[in-house]
Amino acid sequence: MSMVKVQDTGFKGRGLFAVVPIKAGTVLFEESPLVSCQFSWNSSYGYLACEYCLRPLETAESNVRRLTNDYTINLPYPECCTVQEQLSSHTKCTDCMEMYCGAECLQNALQLYHRVLCLGANRSDTNHPINALVEFWKNIHFPPETSSIMLVIKIIAMFKQHENTSKLRTQFEDFVSQTVNQDLMIFHKMLGENFSQQIEQLYDLICNAFDPSSDKRLHWLSLSGFRSLLALIGTNGQGIGTSSFADWVRNVTDIEMNEMQREALDVTIDNLYNKLDDVVGSFLNNEGSALYARQSKVNHSCAPNTECRFPHSNNVLALTTIRDIDAGQEICISYLDECALERSRHSRQKMLSENYLFQCKCEKCESQVADPDETSEEEGSSEEEQQMDDDSD
Ligand SMILES: [Zn+2]
Ligand SMILES: [Zn+2]
Ligand SMILES: [Zn+2]
């Protein structure tokens, strides 16, 4: 029996609720996404991940060497690395050389979208309409990336590749029904200040690449259909991060060793993280975005009781409780990252209404309802916090 069920919450639509008392640390469910992709800049900077599932494709040692640009680094305990193969042994699409973690992911990609998206020998041709679309997107969305046109491209390809689109339609309509009244998306933060013009340019590029007017499977892909699709990925897209180095760190932490070995290892890991911080800052992971059918029904709270984890180092999400939950309580995740959650009620509400188009009425926000309407930087917070505020503005 499931520990949770979807039910109506009243003012914020559907939500997920605990049916029984649940202990902290419980995995409520695991699910694969309907569609996922690596961010475009992340990929073009050489972060290597399976095109289908985002599993890291380089060993922890190669990963840390590449990121720090120090090829003298040798990682101890290589058996703790989850990626053992050399790059040359990875499964590739024989036409375009796109890399996958195995035959199953290549098969899944081919079956779902890659027959439409395989560019074959044109893979590096910047004039190819699909590449032109991705380049245009990259030039209006610099890192840190929060969303990707690749999700849109893959969804379109899924429709184009299937004779019978009714199953697909049902899957995506479930999302679309949540966003249909949100045509205010034109103001969406993800889309930036000048996005109303860019959205039309993007749509032209979509038409060049997929010619929706001559394909009955894409009859929904009008300019407004395209806007809804952007709204859908903007408000429902869940970030994914995978890293073979982080996996290695987790695995070496679990193995048995004596105290001296442990201390030496801790120093090694600290030094590596400092080095990484100097060179790449927070850009440690293969990063991407995905749409999840079940997880998308989980509402936001500024005091969440669950979080999304990726325990298999790929796009499989595990919704995990972070505190004990009573039967009947709503299951909530945070749509904001940890730093943002520490900010004032006013700042949080601003971010949530700009990025996710709702007014937060969670218990934390309600308990702070009397707080002055100040953004965090006006509160005389520490320098570091001010920096974050500046970054996200
Ligand atoms: Zn894979
Ligand atoms: Zn291919
Ligand atoms: Zn809140």
> Which of 190, 216, 238 represents a domain boundary (last residue)?
238
Mean pLDDT taken over the chain: 87
Q: Which residues pair with 337 in a beta bridge?
A: none
Cα–ligand 3 centroid distance for 364 (angstroms):
6
Are residues 12 and 46 located together in one domain of the fold? Answer: no
pLDDT tens digits for 45-98? 889 999 999 999 999 999 999 999 999 999 999 999 988 776 667 899 999 999
What's the CA dihedral at 295, 301, 302, 306 to 10 degrees?
-50
Residue 113 confidence (pLDDT) above 90? yes
Are residues 90 and 204 located together in one domain of the fold? Answer: yes
Ligand in closest contact with the CA of 288: 1
Ligand in closest contact with the CA of 301: 3
Cα–ligand 1 centroid distance for 302 (angstroms):
33
Are residues 126 and 28 located together in one domain of the fold? Answer: no
Domain range for residue 340? 336-393
Cα–ligand 2 centroid distance for 114 (angstroms):
6
Cα–ligand 2 centroid distance for 99 (angstroms):
9
Are residues 307 and 196 located together in one domain of the fold? Answer: no
Query: Would you give the DSSP letter of residue 240?
Result: E
SS in 3 state form for 19-69? CCCECCCCEEEEECCCEEEECHHHHHCCCCECCCCCCECCCHHHHHHHHHC
What is the rounded CA–CA span in Å between residue 199 and residue 173? 22
What is the rounded CA–CA span in Å between residue 242 and residue 250? 12
Residue 162 confidence (pLDDT) above 90? no
Q: Are 176 and 234 in contact (CB under 8 A)?
A: no
Residue type, 5: K
Are residues 355 and 373 located together in one domain of the fold? Answer: yes
Ligand in closest contact with the CA of 359: 3
Report the candidate in 232, 239, 246, 242 with the shortest Cα–Cα distance to residue 333: 239
Cα–ligand 2 centroid distance for 105 (angstroms):
12
- Higher pLDDT, residue 315 or 373: 315
Residue type, 344: S
Cα–ligand 2 centroid distance for 309 (angstroms):
30
- 11: CATH: 2.170.270.10
DSSP string of 288-353, one letter each residue: EEEE-TTGGGPEE-SS-SEEEE-TTSSS-EEEEESS-B-TTPEEEE-SS-HHHHTS-HHHHHHHHH
SS3 of residue 16 by DSSP = strand
Cα–ligand 3 centroid distance for 8 (angstroms):
19
What is the rounded CA–CA span in Å between residue 203 and residue 226? 7
pLDDT tens digits for 219-261? 889 888 888 888 788 888 999 999 999 999 999 999 999 999 9
Lowest mean pLDDT of 102-111, 174-183, 221-230, 326-335, name the range: 174-183
Query: Would you give the DSSP letter of residue 190?
Result: G
Placement of tokens 């997107």 in the chain:
137
The pLDDT, as a whole number, for residue 25 is 96
Ligand in closest contact with the CA of 299: 3
The pLDDT, as a whole number, for residue 233 is 86
- The predicted model gives 371-393 an average pLDDT of 50
> Which of 193, 210, 238 represents a domain boundary (last residue)?
238
What's the CA dihedral at 313, 315, 317, 322 to 10 degrees?
50
- The predicted model gives 345-359 an average pLDDT of 86
Cα–ligand 1 centroid distance for 163 (angstroms):
25
Are residues 89 and 234 located together in one domain of the fold? Answer: yes
Cα–ligand 2 centroid distance for 123 (angstroms):
8
Query: Would you give the DSSP letter of residue 157?
Result: H
